């Protein structure tokens, strides 16, 4: 399936990845090739086949409801790009 | 010392032939001599390695030692190591020093193993040649013009070049087996859920699995003994009991039924590689195994299914890299959108971006059914093929890769050509099965890997077959010229 | 044109677990920023979710409470979007296979009438963190303490037709979940937040109109106001021949208006898919049955029982069954005094009046249910009058002891000694000859009114302790 440049733009926006203007053509070309390869799948007869999300078809175990974590804010925020008063800082969010 | 296997080194430590400090120093020495050529390591922490070695020596002296106490090991730079930068081969995490250890790292620490350093990889484990690393390509120790395979290329090269006796890797679509094959060493991808994924930076959650790379099957068994086990902090970790993977290594192969999938011996297989594989199969037959022709009819769906599922999961697994809490953040973001899009533009390399975009596309409105759901259905068909086949045979065997290591740069501009390299390894991940690559000869002087695939949780069986094979052959003892004589 | 309002509510209910839904972090309210955010909550690389058993149990309990289909195999999905309070870049939620399916429950309106409201589904999910917009040099601060708090999102059918019904629905839901003990229901602390989907359609039309969604309204009062404003806004648009735009709006309590949300306007493509880090939750009949065995009597059943067993009005039953604690209190009073109606009256008027004034919860009442029952016993056996009883209650509230202790200590026991009363009556008649003459001259109708004066005088002399019935009898006799 060929993909248009403006569609790549929309996908990149969903993925929050900036693509420089001069690279859009190249990226579109590569993605088109990859989609061409995976499109072989469309020929497969999968009618009625249950999708497989986990290779073992295992089921979820449950954790006891206990507090096991301690406050490690200092260690966690030591590696953060921008913090103040214990808060992570980001450019102004408008609701 | 550096030409000995883990099993031999462990014996040497117990016999006090050398200390862990001496052993560690010897490997650190080899790294400093050779890694400039191969670029297998991203980070080496000599002080910490020697400190751990000293502690290991005390344990050895007190008689309170485990099998791997004092043994140097290199870890793929995808396992989080507390206090030591864990980059995942990405600019995004170039400055990331985790405040915690991966479960795998904890287990090696408890066993008293010595971490030599963190090995190079394709960025976020996405690649089959190790050319996608922010820290530069890894070179194949057999010939520095060749790729070592990927994504655990640094680990494979480190072991092949005798810069580490063993290493950890991860395998999402062949990332342990393919570099093991290209570098002439032994690698094991365990059953999905056998090794904890906690602290192992995720590429594709339902496919990722950590495992060992070493020179021999016996060494892989020793490492797996440390790595395997249930982790309550990983919901997908299995609580199937763990065995001693060394216990059955020597079992005889009489009566073993080995299935040879027709689809793995077709046109795509390089002639010289095929010859090596046939010879290896003859050897197994000579030991009493029965070779059985089998078919995996959905094989043609493997590459498309994988290259939808893995990018889809990756596209959202990598959303957390947003420049807010850790890792790279762009300079002076104008607003929140700029923070996200520029941080991610700068932090991720081309292949990672491509997979995020493909995955985002496959999950997006209007395409989910045609891509993601269809791929998950194909996954079940592929898995069913293996289930049926493994009801008839004990083990499936074939080539690990279509051909031996290719030249650096040969495929780096052509993602689709690169993806086709994984044709024989991907299905094992889709089906969650254990798979191994075992050195099985040289094609034009380049190592060839024999792939062994088993039933869920049948790692011991695979290791047994590989060990028996290695008892009768010496391919695994060959060493690249730069690594010294065999 | 006559417009019909159509409302569906999505309630985000915080479950009363000890720890988060996917990590072992505490969920205490009001902690210092990011001190309750673990590596999992912060989406540190390699971190993985593990599901809290209690969250599952509580969700199933809710499902049983509304008689819903229970999802015996439910699945977590990732809901993908970028927002700074969402560390992973996706929220773990349930999309296609929720843990609770269709159900319904009864709400009661102010006038005592009831309605059945359908529940579409309820699913487990994790809460996001909080963005703090105070000025950090033009930056926003992110606190992830709340990230990963277990939520049950309860989605109603578009069965609600007015602001009053919406509030009644929320109150009934609040009552149910606090009965079940699965949430503290504390709206001020955000334990129960509400998204309102609202549209108008011409009366009698079957198709729904275009809806607006009002996000994150967190009090009954604001829900009512937000709906009234939105109905007005939409009907103004429609009356002018305009079209309502499908959008997300915010209710601004300070300005008392709704306005469009700017941040989430771009049509989101959430790219839901099964969360590969978690496996399907599979539960069996035995698990469900064990939870069913632990269910308390629920508000609707209790309300109906109060009406049947105690003969209460629908209104009284609704008030008294509102919370488990209040209902238990009431029933203790009933068993202590034996009169359900007087008990209902005292609990609702005196007790709740005082509690509301003092802003106390029922379980913090200074007067125990047994003591209130004891007080009512003294009214019933004529030891004190209803009026004196209020004084006694006041004293009990102040901590002066049980009803009997207060009555003794203050000498409030009703005078029923006919000799003493007769003396008082005689005195009053002797000292008020003018009124006596007036009384004697009056006809039957007016006499009834005038006798009240003499009763009042006797009560005054007796300091309110005279038995009013005996006083009436004596006066009738003496005045002829």
What is the per-residue pLDDT for C454? 87
B388: contact with C, CB 8 A cutoff: no
The residue of chain B nearest to residue A27, with distances taken between CA atoms, is: B354
The Cα B396–Cα B299 span in angstroms is 14
Helix (H, G, I), strand (E, B) or coil at C329: helix
Whether the predicted pLDDT of C264 surpasses 70: no
B97, B376, B429 ranked by CB distance to A52: nearest:
B376
**Mean pLDDT, chain A, integer:** 93
B413 in C contact zone (CB under 8 Å): no
Q: How far apart are CA B23 and CA B30, in angstroms?
A: 11
Question: Which residue in chain A has the smallest CA separation from C270?
Answer: A14
pLDDT of residue B1: 79
C134, pLDDT greater than 80: no
Amino acid C428: pLDDT? 87
Interval C329-348 mean pLDDT? 96
Distance of residue C139 Cα from the nearest chain B Cα, in angstroms: 9
- Residues of B annotated catalytic, as ranges: 76, 151, 175
Asked if residue B69 has a cis previous peptide bond (ω within 30° of 0), the answer is no
- What is the pLDDT at residue C381? 87
Q: State whether the Cα torsion A63-A69-A75-A77 is positive or negative.
A: positive
The answer to whether the CB atoms of B336 and A92 lie below 8 A apart is yes
Beta partners for residue C100, in sequence order: C70, C122
B484, pLDDT greater than 80: no
Say what the pLDDT of residue C265 is: 47
Least confident of B438-447, B456-465, C247-256: C247-256
Q: Do C144 and A88 touch (CB under 8 A)?
A: yes
Residue C222 binned pLDDT confidence (cut-offs 50, 70, 90): very high
pLDDT tens profile C447-478 = 877 888 888 888 888 887 888 888 888 888 88
Strand partners, C152: C13, C124
Tell whether C87 lies on the interface with B, counting CB pairs under 8 A: yes
Average pLDDT on C11-18 reads 97
**CATH number, span C418-479:** 1.10.10.410
Q: Does position C430 have pLDDT exceeding 90, yes or no?
A: no
Mean predicted confidence (pLDDT) in C34-58 = 98
Stated pTM of the model: 0.92
Are C132 and A87 within 8 A, CB to CB? yes
Search chain C and give the residue with CA nearest B100.
Answer: C39
Cβ contact (<8 Å) for C45 and B236? no
The answer regarding whether domain B6-251+455-483 maps to CATH 3.90.1300.10 reads yes
Compute CA B88 distance to the chain's CA centroid, rounded to the nearest angstrom.
14
CA of B303 vs chain C CAs: smallest distance (Å): 20
What are the DSSP calls for C365-420, one per residue?
-SS-HHHHHHHHHHHHTTSS-HHHHHHHHHHHHTT---HHHHHHHHT---B--HHH
Over range B408-436, report the average pLDDT: 95
**Tens digits of residue pLDDT in B81-93:** 999 999 999 999 9
Average pLDDT value for residue range C195-210: 94
Q: Is the ipTM of this complex over 0.85?
A: yes
Asked if C231 and C198 count as a contact pair (C-beta separation under 8 A), the reply is yes
Residue C50 is nearest to which of A16, A63, A82, comparing CB atoms?
A63
Instruction: Indicate which of C38, C82, C262, C276 best probes the interface with B, i.e. most B CBs within 10 Å of its own CB.
Output: C276
Residues A6-34 pLDDT 10s = 899 999 999 999 999 999 999 999 999 99
Report the alpha-carbon distance of residue C306 to residue B454 in Å, rounded: 66
CA angle in degrees (0–180, nearest 5) for C432-C434-C440: 105
Find chain B residues with C-beta within 8 A of A34's C-beta: 307, 354, 358, 415-416, 419
pLDDT digits (tens, 9 = 90+) for C397-422: 999 999 999 998 888 887 777 788 88
Predicted confidence (pLDDT) at residue C436 exceeds the cutoff of 90: no
A14 touches chain C (CB under 8 A): yes
Minimum distance, in Å, between the CA of residue C174 and any CA atom of chain A: 23
The 10s digit of each residue's pLDDT in C84-95 is 999 999 999 999
Contact across the interface for B341 and A34, Cβ inside 8 Å? no
Mean pLDDT along residues B250-254: 97
Contacts of A81 in chain C (CB under 8 A): none
Q: Name which residue leads in pLDDT, C424 or B347.
A: B347
CA angle C447/C449/C453 to nearest 5° reads: 100
Sign of the torsion angle spanned by Cα atoms C13, C18, C20, C25: positive
Q: What is the pLDDT of residue C262?
A: 64
- pLDDT on residue C267: 61
CB–CB contact B336 A60 (8 Å)? no
Q: What is the pLDDT of residues C52-75, one digit of tens each?
A: 999 999 999 999 999 999 999 999
Of B206, B371, B415, Cβ closest to residue A53: B206
In chain B, which residues have their Cβ closer than 8 Å to the Cβ of A41? 301, 304-305, 308, 371, 374-375, 378
A80: which chain B residues are within 8 Å (Cβ-Cβ)? Answer: 324-326
Give the pLDDT of residue B486.
40
Quick one: average pLDDT of B127-134? Answer: 97
Q: Please answer yes or no on whether C33 and A87 come within 8 Å at the CB atom.
A: yes
Under an 8 A CB cutoff, do A53 and C276 touch? yes
CB B437 within 8 A of CB B451: yes
Strands B210-214 and B290-294: unpaired
Tell me whether residues A93 and C50 touch, CB distance under 8 A. Answer: no
Distance, in Å, from the CA atom of B276 to the CA atom of B447, rounded to the nearest integer, reads 10
Report, as an integer, the average pLDDT of C40-57.
98
Cβ contact B380–A80 (<8 Å): no
* Chain B closest-CA separation from residue C84 CA (Å): 7
Contacts of B245 (CB under 8 A, 6+ apart): B220, B221, B222, B224, B225, B228, B459, B460, B463
pLDDT of B483 above 50: no
Q: Is the pLDDT of residue B485 over 60?
A: no
Interface test with A, best of B323, B380, B384, B415 (most A CBs within 10 A): B380
pLDDT at position A1 over 80? no
What are the domain boundaries of chain B?
6-251+455-483
CB contacts of C14 in chain A (<8 Å) are: none
In chain B, what residues touch A50 (CB-CB under 8 Å)?
A: 377, 380
d(CA B194, CA B189): 10
- List the subunits that have 3+ CB pairs under 8 angstroms with C: A, B
Is pLDDT above 80 for B74?
yes
Q: Which of B233, B320, B364 sits opposite C88 (nearest CB)?
A: B320
Q: Are the Cβ atoms of A89 and C51 closer than 8 angstroms?
A: no
Burial of C232 (0-12, 13-18, 19+ CB in 10 A): exposed
Distances (CA, A) of A43 to B266, B298, B371: 21, 12, 12
Read off the pLDDT of each residue in B397-426 and give the average, rounded to a whole number.
Answer: 95
Q: What angle do CA B337, C44, B225 make, to 5 degrees?
A: 145
CB contact under 8 A, A80 and B379: no
């Amino acid at each position: 399936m060929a993909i248009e440049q403006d569609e790549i733009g929309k996908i990149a926006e969903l993925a929050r990845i900036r693509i420089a203007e001069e690279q859009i053509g190249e990226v579109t070309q590569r993605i088109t090739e990859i989609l061409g390869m995976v499109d072989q799948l469309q020929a497969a007869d999968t009618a009625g086949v249950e999708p497989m999300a986990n290779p073992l078809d295992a089921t979820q175990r449950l954790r006891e409801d206990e507090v096991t974590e301690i406050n490690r804010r200092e260690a966690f925020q030591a590696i953060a790009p921008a913090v103040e008063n214990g808060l992570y800082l980001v450019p102004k969010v408008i609701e | 010392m550096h030409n000995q296997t883990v099993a031999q080194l462990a014996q040497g430590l117990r016999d006090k032939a050398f200390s862990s400090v001496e052993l560690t120093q010897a490997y650190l020495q080899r790294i400093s001599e050779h890694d400039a050529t191969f670029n297998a390591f991203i980070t080496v922490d000599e002080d910490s390695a020697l400190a751990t070695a000293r502690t290991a020596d005390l344990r050895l002296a007190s008689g309170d030692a485990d099998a791997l106490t004092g043994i140097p090991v290199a870890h793929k730079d995808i396992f989080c190591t507390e206090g030591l930068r864990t980059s995942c081969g990405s600019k995004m995490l170039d400055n990331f020093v985790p405040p915690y250890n991966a479960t795998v790292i904890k287990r090696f620490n408890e066993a008293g193993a010595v971490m030599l350093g963190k090995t190079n990889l394709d960025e976020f484990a996405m690649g089959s040649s190790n050319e996608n690393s922010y820290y530069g390509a890894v070179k194949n120790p057999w010939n520095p013009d060749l790729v070592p395979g990927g994504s655990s290329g640094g680990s494979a090269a480190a072991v092949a070049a005798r810069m580490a006796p063993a290493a950890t890797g991860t395998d999402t679509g062949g990332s342990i087996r393919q570099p093991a094959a290209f570098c002439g060493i032994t690698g094991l991808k365990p059953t999905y859920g056998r090794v904890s994924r906690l602290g192992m930076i995720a590429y594709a959650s339902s496919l990722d699995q950590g495992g060992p790379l070493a020179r021999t099957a016996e060494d892989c068994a020793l490492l797996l003994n440390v790595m395997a086990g249930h982790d309550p902090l990983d919901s997908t970790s299995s609580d199937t009991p763990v065995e001693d993977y060394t216990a059955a290594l020597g079992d005889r192969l009489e009566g073993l039924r080995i299935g040879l999938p027709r689809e793995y011996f077709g046109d795509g297989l390089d002639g010289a590689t095929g010859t090596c594989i046939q010879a290896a199969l003859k050897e197994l037959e000579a030991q009493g195994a029965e070779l059985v022709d089998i078919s995996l009819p959905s094989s043609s769906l493997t590459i498309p299914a994988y290259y939808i599922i893995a990018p889809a999961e990756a596209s959202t697994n990598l959303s957390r890299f947003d420049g807010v809490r850790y890792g790279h953040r762009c300079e002076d973001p104008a607003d929140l959108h700029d923070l996200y899009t520029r941080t991610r533009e700068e932090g991720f390399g081309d292949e990672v971006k491509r997979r995020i975009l493909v995955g985002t596309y496959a999950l997006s409105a209007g395409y989910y059914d045609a891509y993601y759901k269809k791929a998950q259905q194909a996954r079940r068909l592929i898995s069913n093929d293996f289930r049926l086949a493994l009801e008839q045979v004990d083990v499936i065997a074939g080539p690990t890769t279509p051909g031996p290591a290719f030249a650096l740069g040969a495929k780096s501009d052509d993602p689709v050509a690169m993806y086709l390299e994984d044709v024989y390894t991907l299905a094992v991940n889709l089906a969650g099965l254990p798979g191994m690559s075992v050195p099985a000869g040289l094609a034009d002087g380049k190592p060839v890997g024999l792939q062994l695939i088993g039933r869920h949780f049948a790692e011991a069986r695979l290791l047994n077959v590989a060990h028996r094979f290695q008892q009768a052959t010496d391919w695994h003892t060959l060493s690249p010229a730069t690594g010294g004589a065999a | 044109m006559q417009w019909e309002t159509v409302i569906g509510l999505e309630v985000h209910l915080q479950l009363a677990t000890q720890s988060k839904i996917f990590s072992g972090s505490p969920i205490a309210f009001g902690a210092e920023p990011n001190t309750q955010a673990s590596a999992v909550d912060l989406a540190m690389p390699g971190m993985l979710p593990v599901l809290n058993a209690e969250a599952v149990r509580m969700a199933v309990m809710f499902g049983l409470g509304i008689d819903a289909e229970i999802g015996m195999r439910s699945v977590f999905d990732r809901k993908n979007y970028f927002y700074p309070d969402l560390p992973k870049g996706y929220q773990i939620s349930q999309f296609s296979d929720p843990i609770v399916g269709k159900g319904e429950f009864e709400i009661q309106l102010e006038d005592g009438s009831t309605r059945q409201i359908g529940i579409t589904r309820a699913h487990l999910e994790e809460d996001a963190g909080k963005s703090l917009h105070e000025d950090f040099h033009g930056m926003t601060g992110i606190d992830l303490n709340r990230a990963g708090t277990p939520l049950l999102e309860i989605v109603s059918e578009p069965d609600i037709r007015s602001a009053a019904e919406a509030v009644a629905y929320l109150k009934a839901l609040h009552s149910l979940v606090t009965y079940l003990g699965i949430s503290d229901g504390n709206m001020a602390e955000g334990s129960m937040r509400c998204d309102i989907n609202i549209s108008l359609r011409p009366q009698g039309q079957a198709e729904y109109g275009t809806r607006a969604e009002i996000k994150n309204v967190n009090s009954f009062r604001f829900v009512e106001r937000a709906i009234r404003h939105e109905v007005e806004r939409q009907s103004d648009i429609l009356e002018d021949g305009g079209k309502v735009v499908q959008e997300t709006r915010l209710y601004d309590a300070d300005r008392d208006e709704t306005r469009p949300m700017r941040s989430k306007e771009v049509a989101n493509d959430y790219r839901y898919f099964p969360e590969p880090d978690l496996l399907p939750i599979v539960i069996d009949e035995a698990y469900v049955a064990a939870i069913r065995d632990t269910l308390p009597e629920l508000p609707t059943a209790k309300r109906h029982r109060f009406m049947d067993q105690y003969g209460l009005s629908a209104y009284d039953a609704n008030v008294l069954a509102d919370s488990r604690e209040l209902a238990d209190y009431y029933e203790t009073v009933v068993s202590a005094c034996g009169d359900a109606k007087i008990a209902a009256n005292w609990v609702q008027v005196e007790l709740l009046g005082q509690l509301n004034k003092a802003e106390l919860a029922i379980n913090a009442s200074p007067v125990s249910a047994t003591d209130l029952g004891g007080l009512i016993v003294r009214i019933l056996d004529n030891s004190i009058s209803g009026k004196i009883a209020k004084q006694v209650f006041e004293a009990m509230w102040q901590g002066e002891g049980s009803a009997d202790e207060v009555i003794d200590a203050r000498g409030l026991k009703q005078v029923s000694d006919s000799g003493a009363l007769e003396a008082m009556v005689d005195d009053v008649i002797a000292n008020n000859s003018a009124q006596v003459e007036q009384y004697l001259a009056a006809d039957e109708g007016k006499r009834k009114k005038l006798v009240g004066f003499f009763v009042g005088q006797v009560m005054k002399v007796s300091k309110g302790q005279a038995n009013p019935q005996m006083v009436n009898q004596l006066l009738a006799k003496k005045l002829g």
